[in-house]
Amino acid sequence: RKEVEQDPGPFNVPEGATVAFNCTYSNSASQSFFWYRQDCRKEPKLLMSVYSSGNEDGRFTAQLNRASQYISLLIRDSKLSDSATYLCVVNEEGAQNSGGYQKVTFGIGTKLQVIP
């Protein structure tokens, strides 16, 4: 089983639609979770962290389900500019491992294409 698993898509949705992505992780001890956005031929950039209580940032909502070991990202009122690949990122050993750095594992990413 992959450490971090995502449906690569693509998800083709019309403007204004609501779309949701899920990501599952295998390490139950994982503590930190993130969604990154990567535009075509660009570097990944942090979209939002995912907290246990769930969090919202404008049209974006992230949820964490520890029991089922998955995180989700919901995008409401999709814009053309939301077209990108969304990477699920999991800190696999907790907030700090023995090396004192943030070791994270990336999913393959889910490609979203918002169409006019």
Partner 1 sequence: ETGVTQTPRHLVMGMTNKKSLKCEQHLGHNAMYWYKQSAKKPLELMFVYSLEERVENNSVPSRFSPECPNSSHLFLHLHTLQPEDSALYLCASSQLAGESDTQYFGPGTRLTVL
Q: Where are the beta strands (DSSP E) in 1-116?
A: 4-6, 11-14, 19-25, 32-38, 44-50, 55-57, 60-65, 70-75, 84-91, 104-106, 110-115
Closest CA to 71 of 35, 27, 100: 35
Judged by beta carbon, residue 46 or residue 115, the one nearer partner 1 is: 46
- Segment interacting with partner 1, rule: CB under 8 A, options 12-20, 51-59, 73-81, 107-115: 107-115
Minimum Å distance from CB 64 to partner 1? 15
Around Cβ 95, how many Cβ atoms within 10 Å?
9
Q: Residue 109, interface with partner 1 (CB under 8 A)?
A: yes
Taking CB under 8 A as the binding criterion, the range among 35-43, 56-64, 67-75, 76-84 that sits at the site for partner 1 is: 35-43
CB of 1 to partner 1, least distance (A): 14
Q: In what order do the strands lie in the sheet with 19-25?
A: 4-6, 19-25, 70-75, 60-65, 55-57
Binder to partner 1 among 91, 93, 110, 114 (CB under 8 A)?
91
Which parts of this chain interact with partner 1 (CB under 8 A)? 4, 8, 32, 34, 41-46, 49, 87, 91, 95-96, 99-109
